């Protein structure tokens, strides 16, 4: 299994489209941030530079991370291999289907850690450039770093959870095109909205399904992080950060249960499916 993980990570990290995607994303962020601050004057209060740069990264990361970061992780780890028509050769090499499921989870975690580390280095490097252009500035506070790490952890949990859920369909169809569209539909709450609408029917009105949906749990975490960030222009203090964590409650635990259950179901589906030569 670990040989497959190494081969899988080699495939992911050496694919040009993956490299270009993150390079372009980091470059666009740095260019827009530096150009956007060119006319600002931080001479009197250099801490404003830290707040501006912090907010420029955090707010889009919360609002648009599920749209521009999570789908790329899902496609690179799960779908690209299906599109390369190597699914049959994969299991003919001796890899067990249970090992495949676990290996994909490991590949997802390693890929996310490396990418987020790269984005963090680009983020810190961009701040260093801005600091030099403005004759120095205070660095990030502990609370700012803590909130950034919370958002990164949320995006990682979000990606793995919805990847595992969408993978139930992916493994059954063994196609890499429609599942990517379904990932957007499911992860952005469109499917949950449809279920909520169906739940209004008289026959189902007594059964409240919303609290048990994955989108509900991830939505509560996103709302907590968003409210904690957008409610003030100043960095969150220790008490505010604690309130954000407390408001999240047991949602990460519920999402973890989703990951475990969908992983088990994925194994069952894969074991009882014929591997197609795409």
**In this structure, is residue 277 part of a structural domain?**
no
Predicted pLDDT at 130: 80
pLDDT value at residue 249: 73
Residue 161's pLDDT is: 92
**208-224: pLDDT as tens digits:** 667 778 888 888 888 87
Contact 62, 229 (CB under 8 A): yes
Count of other CB atoms within 10 angstroms of residue 169: 16
More confident position, 214 or 191: 214
pLDDT at residue 207 in the model = 67
Mean pLDDT of 22-31: 91
Q: In the prediction, which pLDDT does 133 show?
A: 76
DSSP conformation class of 202:
G
Per the CB < 8 A criterion, the answer to whether 262 and 101 are in contact is no
- Total domains in the fold of the chain: 1
> What pLDDT score does 135 carry?
74
Taking residues 84-112, report their average pLDDT: 81
pTM: 0.84
Please indicate, yes or no, if residue 216 is contained in any of the structural domains.
Answer: yes
Domain limits at 61?
A: 2-271
| 192 within 8 A of 210, measured Cβ to Cβ | yes
254 band by pLDDT with thresholds 50, 70 and 90: confident
Task: Using only the alpha carbons of the chain, give its radius of gyration.
Answer: 21
In degrees to the nearest 10, what's the CA dihedral of 68, 70, 73, 79? -90
Q: How do residues 27-83 score in pLDDT, each as one tens digit?
A: 998 888 877 666 666 666 667 777 778 878 888 888 889 999 999 999 999 888 776
DSSP string, 35-92: HHTTT---SS-THHHHHHHHHHHHHHHHHHHHHHTHHHHHIIIIIHHHHTT-HHHHHH
Please state which of the ranges 65-79, 139-153, 185-199, 200-214 shows the lowest mean pLDDT. Answer: 200-214
CA separation, residue 223 to residues 211, 218, 245, 248, 252 (Å): 15, 9, 12, 9, 14
What pLDDT does residue 260 have? 92
For 275, residues 6+ apart whose C-beta sits below 8 A from its C-beta are 87, 88, 91, 174
If you average pLDDT over every residue of the chain, what do you get?
A: 80
Structure tokens at 265: 């179901």
| Residue 106, in any domain of the structure | yes
CB atoms near residue 152 (< 10 Å) = 19
User: Does 146 or 115 have the greater pLDDT score?
Assistant: 115
**Is 160 domain-assigned?**
yes
Residue-level pLDDT at 156 = 93
Is 195 part of a structural domain of the chain? yes
Q: What is the pLDDT of residue 111?
A: 96
Give the residue from 97, 81, 87 showing the smallest Cα distance to 9: 81
Q: Is residue 196 part of a domain?
A: yes
Residue 173 lies in a domain: yes
Phi-psi category of residue 212: left, alpha or beta, with phi > 0 → left and psi -120 to 50 → alpha = alpha
In a domain, 278, yes or no: no
pLDDT > 90 fraction of the chain, expressed in percent and rounded = 22
């Amino acid at each position: 299994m670990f040989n497959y993980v190494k081969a899988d990570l080699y495939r992911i990290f050496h694919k040009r489209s993956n490299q270009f995607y993150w390079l372009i994303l980091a470059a666009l962020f740095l260019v827009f941030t530096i150009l956007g601050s060119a006319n600002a004057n931080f001479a009197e209060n250099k801490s404003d530079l830290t707040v501006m740069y912090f907010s420029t990264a955090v707010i889009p990361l919360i609002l648009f991370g599920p749209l521009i970061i999570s789908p790329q992780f899902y496609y690179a780890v799960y779908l690209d291999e299906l599109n390369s028509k190597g699914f049959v050769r994969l299991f003919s090499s001796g890899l067990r289907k249970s090992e495949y499921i676990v290996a994909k989870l490991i590949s997802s975690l390693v890929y996310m850690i490396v990418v987020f580390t790269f984005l963090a280095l680009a983020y810190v490097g961009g701040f260093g450039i801005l600091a030099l252009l403005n004759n120095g500035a205070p660095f990030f506070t502990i609370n700012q770093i803590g909130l950034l790490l919370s958002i990164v952890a949320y995006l990682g949990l979000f990606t793995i959870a919805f990847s595992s859920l969408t993978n139930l369909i992916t493994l059954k169809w063994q196609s890499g095109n429609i599942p990517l569209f379904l990932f957007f539909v499911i992860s952005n709450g469109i499917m949950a909205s449809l279920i909520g609408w169906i739940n209004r029917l008289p026959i189902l009105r007594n059964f409240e399904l919303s609290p048990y949906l994955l989108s509900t749990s991830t939505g509560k975490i996103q709302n907590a992080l968003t409210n904690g960030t957008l409610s003030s222009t100043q960095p969150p203090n220790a008490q505010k950060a604690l309130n954000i964590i407390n408001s999240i409650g047991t949602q990460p635990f519920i999402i973890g249960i989703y990951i475990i259950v969908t992983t088990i179901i994925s194994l069952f589906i894969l074991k009882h499916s014929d591997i197609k030569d795409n």
